[in-house]
Amino acid sequence: MKVALIGGTGETGSIIVNALLESDIPALKIIAIVRPASERKPDVVALEKRGVAVAVVDLEGPRAELVDVLEGADVLISTIHVSALGSQIPLADAAKAAGVKRFVPCFFATVAPAKGVLTLRQLKEEALLHAKKIRLPYTVIDVGWWYQLSIPRLPSGRIDSATPLPVNFIAGDGNTPSALTDVRDVGRFTARIIADPRTINKMVFVYGDIVSQNQIFDMLDEMSGETTKREYANAIEKSAFDNRMKIFYEYWYSMGVRGDNTLENAEFLGYVDGTKLYPDFQPITFEAFLKEVLDGKSVAIYRTLEQNVAKAER
């Protein structure tokens, strides 16, 4: 199986590469498509050392070059950077011309309606709409919110290094259930889904656990022996639109206030429940993740995130 990947050095993309390399997919060949500007970056060189072929192409450049690279690919996965979501249109056109058998556009987030709630979701939908227009077979993968972006810091400061973007506020009343996944499982789920004929032309929803924010705080307090301050952000809707972090807070409004990120809503919106497709798959539980964090064993995979957020706030 030949898998082409856009964004292979990003947060989600690198997790998917790891999972693919560890998977039992037979005769797997991974091609990371990178921009000319990134060709010599250490992350790209590291991918090559791990056996990933690297193809340097400009998604907005001549289509023939992109078609050449995609020729013979069974799957094209996009975990493209937010700022380049629009490039998925020429990417999809090239994939269609190359006969790619499955396009996985950049979703990998929470369950939410296509329009009117999440700015990012709305942007991501454009690639799906285009795939449907040109009849390019697709699979949408949504994974809920990540464990790693769901926990507050403790008063003692002992888990600060594991919380690059701490969540010390509670959206809504804190009792709304929300589907969460350990970011490492995003890769493992994706490796299953892209090799599965049942998921062609479907939206698939996977998750590791379904918990409310109050449950998260309770669990953390109990396991740590500390008492985390809970700031109820009932006005999150209004504040979101005054805030430069609007696209980030929209997710918390959607999850915590609207309650969009649930299995029930996923089914209403037409998703397939991916956890039922793979009953043998044992996702990391939220409790197991919390234990790792408290034991100082979690890997802080969001080193760059803090910097990006700081940049966005400026």
As annotated, the active-site residues are: 124
Question: With CB under 8 A, what is the number of residues at the site for a copy of itself?
Answer: 16
Partners of 209 in the beta sheet? 180
Among 37, 49, 115, 311, binds a copy of itself (CB under 8 A): 115
For the bound state, the minimum distance from the C-beta of residue 102 to a copy of itself, rounded and expressed in Å, comes to 13
Partners of 262 in the beta sheet? none
Q: How far apart are CA 132 and CA 193, in angstroms?
A: 19
Asked if residue 133 binds a copy of itself (CB under 8 A), the reply is yes
Phi, psi of 228 (to 5 degrees): -85, 135
Q: How far apart are CA 226 and CA 218, in angstroms?
A: 10
The region of 17-25, 29-37, 181-189, 262-270 touching a copy of itself under the rule CB under 8 A is 262-270
Among 40, 41, 50, 132, binds a copy of itself (CB under 8 A): 132
Asked if residue 265 binds a copy of itself (CB under 8 A), the reply is yes
The region of 112-120, 206-214, 230-238, 245-253 touching a copy of itself under the rule CB under 8 A is 112-120
Go through 258-288 and write b for each residue having 16 or more CB atoms within 10 A of its CB, e for each that does not.
bbbbbbebbeeeebbebbebeeeeebbebee
Contact string 199-218 vs a copy of itself (x = CB under 8 A): --x-----------------
- Residues 75 and 104: beta-carbon distance below 8 Å: yes
Q: How far apart are CA 210 and CA 224, in angstroms?
A: 21
Q: Which is nearer to a copy of itself, 121 or 184 (CB)?
A: 121
What tokens were used for 233?
Answer: 């952000």
For the bound state, the minimum distance from the C-beta of residue 142 to a copy of itself, rounded and expressed in Å, comes to 14
Asked if residue 49 binds a copy of itself (CB under 8 A), the reply is no
Go through 10-44 and write b for each residue having 16 or more CB atoms within 10 A of its CB, e for each that does not.
bbbbbbbbebbeebebeebebbbbbbeeeeeeeeb
Q: Which is nearer to a copy of itself, 271 or 289 (CB)?
A: 271
The one-letter code for the residue type at 20 is L
DSSP tag of 283: P
For the bound state, the minimum distance from the C-beta of residue 258 to a copy of itself, rounded and expressed in Å, comes to 9
The region of 33-41, 129-137, 160-168, 228-236 touching a copy of itself under the rule CB under 8 A is 129-137
Partners of 272 in the beta sheet? 204
Asked if residue 96 binds a copy of itself (CB under 8 A), the reply is no
Asked if residue 102 binds a copy of itself (CB under 8 A), the reply is no
- Residues 142 and 279: beta-carbon distance below 8 Å: no
The region of 113-121, 169-177, 181-189, 228-236 touching a copy of itself under the rule CB under 8 A is 113-121
Q: How far apart are CA 35 and CA 39, in angstroms?
A: 7
Rg (CA), the chain: 19
For the bound state, the minimum distance from the C-beta of residue 134 to a copy of itself, rounded and expressed in Å, comes to 8
Name the pairing type of β-strands 169-171 and 139-142. Answer: unpaired
For the bound state, the minimum distance from the C-beta of residue 215 to a copy of itself, rounded and expressed in Å, comes to 23
Among 45, 46, 82, 114, binds a copy of itself (CB under 8 A): 114
Among 51, 62, 72, 270, binds a copy of itself (CB under 8 A): 270
Burial of 219 (0-12, 13-18, 19+ CB in 10 A): middle
Asked if residue 116 binds a copy of itself (CB under 8 A), the reply is yes
Instruction: Give residues in contact with a copy of itself (CB under 8 A).
Output: 113-117, 129-130, 132-133, 135, 137, 201, 265, 268-270
